[in-house]
Structure 1
Amino acid sequence: MRYSQLLGGTLRERAHDVESTNLDLLTRGGFVRQLTSGVYSMLPLGERVMRKLTEIIRTEMERIGGQEVSMPVLQPREIWDVRPQSGKASRAEGYGPVLFSLRDRRERELVLGPTHEEICILLAQEFIRSYRDLPRLVFQIQRKFRDEPRARGGLLRLREFLMKDLYSFDADEEGLNANFELMREAYCRIFARCGLDFIVVEADSGAIGGKESLEFIALTEAGEDTILHCTGCGYAANVEKAEFVRPERISAEEQVLEEVYTPDCKSISDLAAFLGISEGETMKVVCYSAGGQLVMAVVRGDLEINEIKLTNVITKRGLNATDLRLATAEELECAGIVAGYASPLGENKALLIIADHSLRSGNNFVAGANRAEYHLKNVNYPRDFRVDTWADIASAYEGAACVRCGGSLHALRGCELGHIFKLGTIYSDLFNATFLDAEGRTQPLIMASYGIGISRLLACIVEQQHDARGITWPLAVAPYAVSLVGIDLEKEEIGRAAERLYADLCAAGVEVLFDDRRESAGIKFNDADLLGLPLRAVVSKRSLKQGGVELKARTSQASQIVPLSEALNEIQQVLMKRL
């Protein structure tokens, strides 16, 4: 490709409203252009990278037996409104406003698919009749739509994005586990081939559902995920899922309940400082509303409430927690709770109290008195308050003790590249998708779901692979392998040599971007660095005088001069070694 014919172009300055490195470099390099919030056009350079990524993914999916299909983006709303027999929330309720909804000319409700579990289980229901038809792995590479409340991070969180999703169907748990492991290995190969630094962690299954899931996290400060990782035993989990050992507190003899005056002490830190105690001697109380129910979450004062864990506990109690939010002042007042001084003590039976396991260790805590500017000392369970559910609802943190080996957990920032879920029979039960086993008995299909956000994959590569001058693409996903830069091409000897090398590279099948523009050497070199192609070949008066073509890897400071007649062979060898 000749640069002079390329749609797009580089920009000299960073846009003032660009919030992320990936968007800055992809925009200035001429890879993408934003249409509106969370929606982007892929320019030719960006599309070439996306094509490389999809081919790596497609190759690995087919390698383990995946069959590619294409399922509809436009889906009937009624499929998403199906409720499980338990009466729990439908998938539409689970996604809430993130689900793009519309109506056709006949007023039929439709959605734009954010994922395809429902559609794929309906296909499986039609074509899988017997255990002889199992296992089956079906995948697609397709655009998805999610009305994110705040699209952010450039291409890290979009409202329209390209995704690979694969669905496996098995006859039993053994088959499910085998396919799950195959997919884990395939994902590791994919991300390694893309040149990414990543970690595999335990994760919460979220709106997809299921009993077990793993996330593949690209390590980058630009990510919105917090990972807790133990360097001792390797345990790693998303903060939404991470378990940890709570520091033990020594119990003393129970003291008499005592009300104390605590002016302007609405926060745990203010309260602890005022009383001269540690935050671990207090109780933190936060009130929520979920499914029309008022929920009081209680943890020890030195910990934070994890709302994802809390949501899962509420859901297990049969409540719809998809609309979990902080309780309003009016709701608290109606329940007799004083904001800032809330307490689990009291006789309000309508209140659902969920307490963290941290409160099982130690006693004589300080808690709110449900009275402005007052707290209670020496609060003890079960003498002074009830708990409806004990659960892990606290967030793990930097330095917390590992549940596996007792070592220390370390917090890392990252971005989710892919997520794999053991769904079991959730969707089979929902749509009565069954097969006949070897004994002729009807059994539900056992399902798993595996996703990779390809648009996000591109963004994560840029977040990890760049320097002060621009992107540094790994060869496997670079839009072109070679940046051929011609300086002073209007001079016959230079122009003839550059054209000859360009023709030789194209004939040999080497992907090359030939900068044939009438621009200064400085502009061309800066643009080559910004675009970040793995190898730069320069034809100039200086290089020809020194004997031929100057070759320089994007990530190297050193360069070499090779004869023009040997340039093609040398470039091919360099690329082969890098690949």
Structure 2
Amino acid sequence: MRWSQMHIPTLRDDPAEAEFPSHRLLLRAGYVRQLTAGHYSLLPLAVRVRTKVIEIIRQELTRIGAQEMLLPAIHPAEVWRRSGRWELMGQEMFRLTDRRGAELALGMTHEEIFATLAQELNSYRQLPQQWYQFQTKFRDEPRAKGGLMRTREFTMKDAYSFDLDQAGLDVSFEGYHGAYTRIFERLGLPAIPVEASSGTMGGSGSTEFMCPAEVGEDLIVHSPGCGYAANIEKATSRLAEIDDEPGADAPVRFATPGTRTIDDLARDHGAPADRQIKTLVYVLDGALTLVLLRGDHPLNEQKLADATAAAEVRAAGAEEIRDALGALPGSLGAVGVTDLPVIADEALRGRRAMFTGANDDDVHLRGVDVERDIEVGTWADLREVRAGEPCARCGEPLLVERAIEVGHIFKLGDRYARALGAEVLDPDGRRVPLTMGSYGIGVERAMAALVEVHHDERGIVWPVAVAPFQVAVVAAQSDDAETAEVAGRIYRELGEAGVEVILDDRDERAGVKFRDVELTGIPFRITVGRRGLAEGTVEVTRRASGETEKVPVAEAVAHTRGVLG
């Protein structure tokens, strides 16, 4: 390809709307253009990168025996109703009605549709099956942002495994885990597999592949000591043993005028935060619920949702709280409450001589024995882990850092197969539901993550495996006949040798060309100029390091093929 013939609309200045480095650079380097919030056009360079990302994924899935399909993007509401997710997905699902009045949805994911196809499987002898596709997904993101990082339509590689039982699923899951590890290594993404919440997907477990990055929207918790890693929505840590005194025979009321916070109670009334019971009020699927934690522990809402299987989770409003408990936040507690469900964090189990609100404004209780005085209906891990807490496995301090989710694999079990009637005969001749797994990679998000990891002050620094071109040949003086002739010859010979190469033949100053090659992230630049030709050399520059070598003109092609490997 010739630069003069391609559409590469580079920008000199940073776009004002760009939030993340990947957003800024993909716009500046002429890879993408925004149509509206969350919807991007991929321009020629981006399409070339996307194609390479897809091909690496395809090769690794073929290696584990997966078969590629392509399913519809518009789904009938009925199949989503059968799985229970028509309501569960809420406002993030784009819904529409056709001219006949049929309710439809733009596919957010394809578990239901693949399970419908799996109805044609009849016997355990046909298993396992591994099916996948590259398909556009649609999600009405409430906060589409960050360029390709969080969009409303995007390409997902979604794969699905079908096995006879949990043991088969475990094997399939490990196969995809290995494939994902190889995919991200080949892409050049330092992805860490971490324990994760399954969220609305359900199932017995899941693993996310997280790429550490300052702009990441997720937090991962990990221990360098033993390799433990988990999303903060799933992470746990070791707590110090606490041996409480027996305390009073019954809770004792005491006045706490003006006390509204954990810190107020600790400062003014000698109640350390780790001896307080923090009472939060949440509405879970429409039901008011008391959520109890130690005073110094924050709640992780996803843990609450997972523990209760609630689809809708929100903090209750002040009036809802007063109507139910007779007090406002700051004086709330669960002692004596019998008409509302109570869920408590495991860190409160067995605690005595504790402090909590009395459900009377400006009044608290001391001497509370949690198991004696509070009717806890459910115990669960609800607290959010913090940096520096001891690892539950090795005891070393935990690290917390931001990361981008680039892949997620799930053990779904038989939820979708039961709902959609996907059954096979087992070896004993009984009809049993299939056991499914689900495995996703967002293609454009992976591209954005690559830019977040591989960039500098001059622009993108693509790994060779995904770069739109491996080499740019730059004619420093396009109006010089010899320079243009030698640049054109090297360009042709590289192409004939199988190198992906672009010739920058534009009538621009050399500095403009160098800047654009660096901005777009092409791994190698061969500069052909009058001064070098006078010495019989060209310059080969590595984008990643900035190192430049002078190479004899006759050796330029062989040298470049050598450094490309």
TM-score, reference length from structure 2 = 0.97
Q: Distance in 1 between matches of 2:324 and 2:403?
A: 40
Q: Residue 3 of structure 2 corresponds to which residue in structure 1?
A: 3
Aligned counterpart for 1:272 among listed residues 266, 275, 299: 266
Shift in Å at residue 136 of structure 1? Answer: 0.7
Letter in 1 for 2:317: T
Deviates most, 27-36 or 152-161: 152-161
Structure 1 portions without partners, runs of 5+: 84-89, 316-320
Q: Distance in 1 between matches of 2:400 and 2:41?
A: 35
Deviates most, 133-142 or 271-280: 271-280
Q: Residue 24 of structure 1 corresponds to which residue in structure 2?
A: 24
SS of equivalent to 2:370: coil
Aligned counterpart for 1:511 among listed residues 500, 512, 521: 500
Q: Residue 97 of structure 2 corresponds to which residue in structure 1?
A: 103
CA deviations on 1:344-403 (whole Å, 9 max, x unpaired) are: 335443311101111125422221222223322222223332211111111111112222
1:163-562 superposed matches below 5 A: 163-255=156-248, 257-315=251-309, 321-360=310-349, 362-562=351-551
| Structure 1 residues 185 and 133: alpha-carbon distance in aligned structure 2, compared to 1, 3 A threshold | same
Q: Residue 133 of structure 1 corresponds to which residue in structure 2?
A: 126
Q: Distance in 1 between matches of 2:111 and 2:498?
A: 40
Shift in Å at residue 91 of structure 1? Answer: 0.9
Contact 2:290–2:334 (CA under 8 A) maintained in structure 1: no
Letter in 2 for 1:228: V
Q: Distance in 2 between matches of 1:16 and 1:378?
A: 57
Contact 1:487–1:494 (CA under 8 A) maintained in structure 2: yes
Q: Distance in 2 between matches of 1:534 and 1:552?
A: 8
Q: Residue 87 of structure 1 corresponds to which residue in structure 2?
A: none
SS of equivalent to 2:183: helix
Contact 1:294–1:350 (CA under 8 A) maintained in structure 2: no
Shift in Å at residue 261 of structure 1? Answer: 3.4
Q: Distance in 1 between matches of 2:547 and 2:110?
A: 49
Q: Distance in 2 between matches of 1:358 and 1:283?
A: 10
Contact 1:39–1:160 (CA under 8 A) maintained in structure 2: yes
SS of equivalent to 1:272: helix
Q: Residue 118 of structure 2 corresponds to which residue in structure 1?
A: 124
Contact 2:335–2:358 (CA under 8 A) maintained in structure 1: no
Structure 2 portions without partners, runs of 5+: none
Q: Residue 45 of structure 1 corresponds to which residue in structure 2?
A: 45
Q: Residue 114 of structure 1 corresponds to which residue in structure 2?
A: 108
1:129-168 superposed matches below 5 A: 129-168=122-161
Q: Residue 76 of structure 2 corresponds to which residue in structure 1?
A: 76
Q: Distance in 2 between matches of 1:46 and 1:133?
A: 39
Letter in 2 for 1:76: P
Shift in Å at residue 406 of structure 1? Answer: 2.4
Contact 2:327–2:361 (CA under 8 A) maintained in structure 1: yes
Q: Distance in 2 between matches of 1:189 and 1:59?
A: 10
Q: Distance in 1 between matches of 2:38 and 2:264?
A: 40
Contact 1:22–1:460 (CA under 8 A) maintained in structure 2: yes
Letter in 2 for 1:431: L
Shift in Å at residue 483 of structure 1? Answer: 1.5
Deviates most, 145-154 or 376-385: 376-385
Q: Distance in 1 between matches of 2:30 and 2:21?
A: 14
Q: Distance in 2 between matches of 1:154 and 1:371?
A: 49
CA deviations on 1:23-55 (whole Å, 9 max, x unpaired) are: 000000000111111111000000100000000
Q: Distance in 2 between matches of 1:456 and 1:267?
A: 41
SS of equivalent to 2:210: strand
Deviates most, 514-523 or 23-32: 514-523
Calculate the aligned-residue CA RMSD, in Å.
Answer: 1.5
SS of equivalent to 2:289: strand
Shift in Å at residue 59 of structure 1? Answer: 0.7
Letter in 1 for 2:40: Y
1:81-100 superposed matches below 5 A: 81-82=81-82, 90-100=84-94
Q: Distance in 2 between matches of 1:345 and 1:237?
A: 31
Deviates most, 343-352 or 468-477: 343-352
Shift in Å at residue 341 of structure 1? Answer: 2.4
Q: Distance in 2 between matches of 1:518 and 1:263?
A: 78
Letter in 1 for 2:256: T
Q: Distance in 1 between matches of 2:372 and 2:215?
A: 47
Q: Distance in 1 between matches of 2:188 and 2:258?
A: 53
Letter in 1 for 2:61: M
Contact 2:331–2:362 (CA under 8 A) maintained in structure 1: no
SS of equivalent to 2:147: coil
Identical amino acids, percent of aligned pairs: 46
CA deviations on 1:390-421 (whole Å, 9 max, x unpaired) are: 11111111112222222222112111111111
Q: Residue 318 of structure 1 corresponds to which residue in structure 2?
A: none
Q: Distance in 1 between matches of 2:274 and 2:398?
A: 19
Letter in 1 for 2:507: R
Shift in Å at residue 337 of structure 1? Answer: 4.0
CA deviations on 1:422-451 (whole Å, 9 max, x unpaired) are: 111111111221111222221211111111
CA deviations on 1:199-228 (whole Å, 9 max, x unpaired) are: 111111111111011111111111111111
Contact 2:216–2:402 (CA under 8 A) maintained in structure 1: yes
Aligned residues: 564
SS of equivalent to 1:567: helix
Q: Distance in 1 between matches of 2:154 and 2:169?
A: 28
Letter in 2 for 1:45: L
Shift in Å at residue 507 of structure 1? Answer: 2.1
SS of equivalent to 2:392: coil
SS of equivalent to 2:439: strand
Contact 1:201–1:216 (CA under 8 A) maintained in structure 2: yes
Contact 2:350–2:370 (CA under 8 A) maintained in structure 1: no
Deviates most, 264-273 or 389-398: 264-273
Q: Distance in 1 between matches of 2:534 and 2:329?
A: 78
SS of equivalent to 1:231: coil
Contact 1:344–1:386 (CA under 8 A) maintained in structure 2: no
Contact 1:252–1:362 (CA under 8 A) maintained in structure 2: no
Q: Distance in 2 between matches of 1:333 and 1:367?
A: 17
Contact 2:475–2:505 (CA under 8 A) maintained in structure 1: yes
SS of equivalent to 1:383: helix
